[in-house]
């Protein structure tokens, strides 16, 4: 299935056909990776539906959006698993999932669980001045970084946002030289040094594999 990234950012994905026992209720930024894992592992018991990835621009809206989606789909599935990390909700998403009786991913952000939460946490103290991108965020850099921060209209604001950062780290889920080049370009636009680190799907693969 070919999925348009702009659509994942703005609208999400409604691919819950009601055929599986388990619904993965995910952030649109994770659609490609989850579908790749489903294909690779033959997880036919899982359906996927995604909320718009651009909810991350307003993290305070994520818990209510997740709740509405859980209520919408609950009757059709034996289990719903929320494929979000904390994502800037300050623990409110976790509290909401507990209240709804659904599981969710561990970790603060997608770039943490892609690298592996333990690995990410282990170097957090040395790398707190890094700005992270994933495959999806490289592809949607303008929609998630450049335009919402107003840098398309006011490039003079760049150093107010990024002056304290030292490098951009591209945590790559796939081997893709074109994305590598784009990520390097993103680093240049932000005035940051560039580093690429291949992560694969990290903890996401292990977490989804545990779902029955």
Residues that bind other proteins (CB under 8 A): 59, 86, 88-92, 108-109, 121, 124-125, 128-129, 148-151, 153-154, 157, 160-161, 164-165
Burial 148-184 (b: 16+ CB within 10 A, else e): ebebeeeeeebeeebeebeebbbbbbeeeeebbebbb
- In the bound state with other proteins, the residue whose beta carbon lies nearer, of 91 and 177, is 91
How near is the Cβ of 18 to other proteins at its closest, in Å?
34
How near is the Cβ of 126 to other proteins at its closest, in Å?
10
- In the bound state with other proteins, the residue whose beta carbon lies nearer, of 7 and 167, is 167
How near is the Cβ of 111 to other proteins at its closest, in Å?
12
Give the C-alpha distances (Å, rounded to integers) separating 66 from 3, 30, 127, 140: 21, 15, 31, 22
Q: Among all chains, which residue has been given the structure tokens 């994305």?
A: 179
- In the bound state with other proteins, the residue whose beta carbon lies nearer, of 164 and 174, is 164
Q: How many CA atoms lie within 13 A of 163 on its CB side?
A: 7
How near is the Cβ of 102 to other proteins at its closest, in Å?
20
Question: Do 172 and 179 meet the contact criterion of CB atoms below 8 Å apart?
Answer: yes
Rg from Cα positions in the chain: 17
- In the bound state with other proteins, the residue whose beta carbon lies nearer, of 5 and 127, is 127
């Amino acid at each position: 299935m070919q999925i348009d990234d702009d659509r994942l950012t703005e609208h999400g994905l409604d691919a819950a056909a009601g055929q599986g026992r388990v619904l993965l209720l995910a952030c649109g930024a994770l659609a490609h990776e989850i579908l790749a894992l489903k294909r690779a592992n033959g997880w036919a018991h899982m359906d996927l539906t995604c909320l718009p990835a651009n909810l991350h621009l307003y993290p305070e809206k994520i818990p209510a959006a997740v709740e509405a989606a859980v209520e919408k789909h609950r009757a059709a599935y034996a289990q719903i698993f929320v494929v979000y990390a904390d994502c800037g909700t300050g623990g409110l998403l976790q509290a909401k999932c507990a209240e709804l009786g659904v599981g969710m991913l561990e970790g603060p952000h997608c770039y943490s669980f892609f690298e592996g939460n333990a690995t990410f946490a282990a170097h957090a103290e040395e790398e707190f001045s890094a700005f992270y991108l994933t495959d999806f965020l490289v592809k949607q850099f303008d929609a998630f970084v450049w335009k919402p921060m107003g840098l398309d209209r006011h490039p003079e604001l760049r150093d107010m946002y990024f002056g304290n950062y030292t490098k951009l780290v591209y945590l790559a889920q796939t081997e893709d030289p074109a994305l590598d080049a784009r990520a390097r370009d993103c680093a240049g636009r932000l005035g940051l040094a560039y580093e690429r680190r291949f992560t694969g799907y990290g903890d996401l693969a292990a977490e989804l594999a545990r779902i029955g």
